[in-house]
Structure 1
């Protein structure tokens, strides 16, 4: 009886518990990376906005207005590039998590099939 209970316990650990822990760890890593990327982006966007507001506060004449307009155009270009990079980063993080999850699911399925054969 003890051997049967021990075998069941080992099967439960390898088929249910271990994969569940692995997936949870991967999910936590994914969420941490996503939140970090979002916070980095938010910080960069707010820094750009504040810098641009300061530029407009320096407008005193036609020449400084022209410089502010040029700065505005550069800021818009920089923002679009930053947003593109941030989008690519989030996509990459998500794809990695999806691939890792798929691999874990395949391994778990394989272990479950093997354990039913025993």
Structure 2
């Protein structure tokens, strides 16, 4: 009986526990990367905004106003480039996670099919031997 329980535990681990663990690890890594990217982006946007506020606080004459306007235009361009880069990074992270998940799912289905087929063959052979 102990051998049967051990076999059932092994099958349960192969079909359910191990795949869930693998997926959970991949999901945790994905969410960690996404949150880190979002925090980096928020910090960068905040830094850009504070820098622009400081530039506008230094406006005292026509020349400093012109510099502030030029700085504003450059900052807007930098912000658009940052948005684009951040969107590409998040898209890439999502695609990578999706591909990894798909590979894990395919492997897990293959493993489950093999385990189930083996168990069915063993049961059939056991019945035939009786």
TM-score, scaled to structure 2: 0.89
Partner of 2:121: none
Rounded to whole Å, the distance in 1 between the matches of 2:57 and 2:46 is: 16
Larger Rg: 2
Deviation at 1:8, TM superposition (A): 1.0
Structure 1 stretches of 4+ moved >2 Å: none
Task: Say which is worse superposed, 4-13 or 83-92, in terms of deviation.
Answer: 4-13
Instruction: Give the superposed CA RMSD.
Output: 0.6
Partner of 1:22: 22
Rounded to whole Å, the distance in 1 between the matches of 2:35 and 2:55 is: 30
Deviation at 1:5, TM superposition (A): 1.5
TM-score, scaled to structure 1: 0.98
Partner deviation per Cα, 1:70-95 (whole Å, 9 max, x = no partner): 00000000000000000000011111
Deviation at 1:3, TM superposition (A): 2.1
Partner of 2:51: 51
> Gapped runs of 5+ residues in structure 2?
119-130
Partner of 2:13: 13
Partner of 1:106: 106
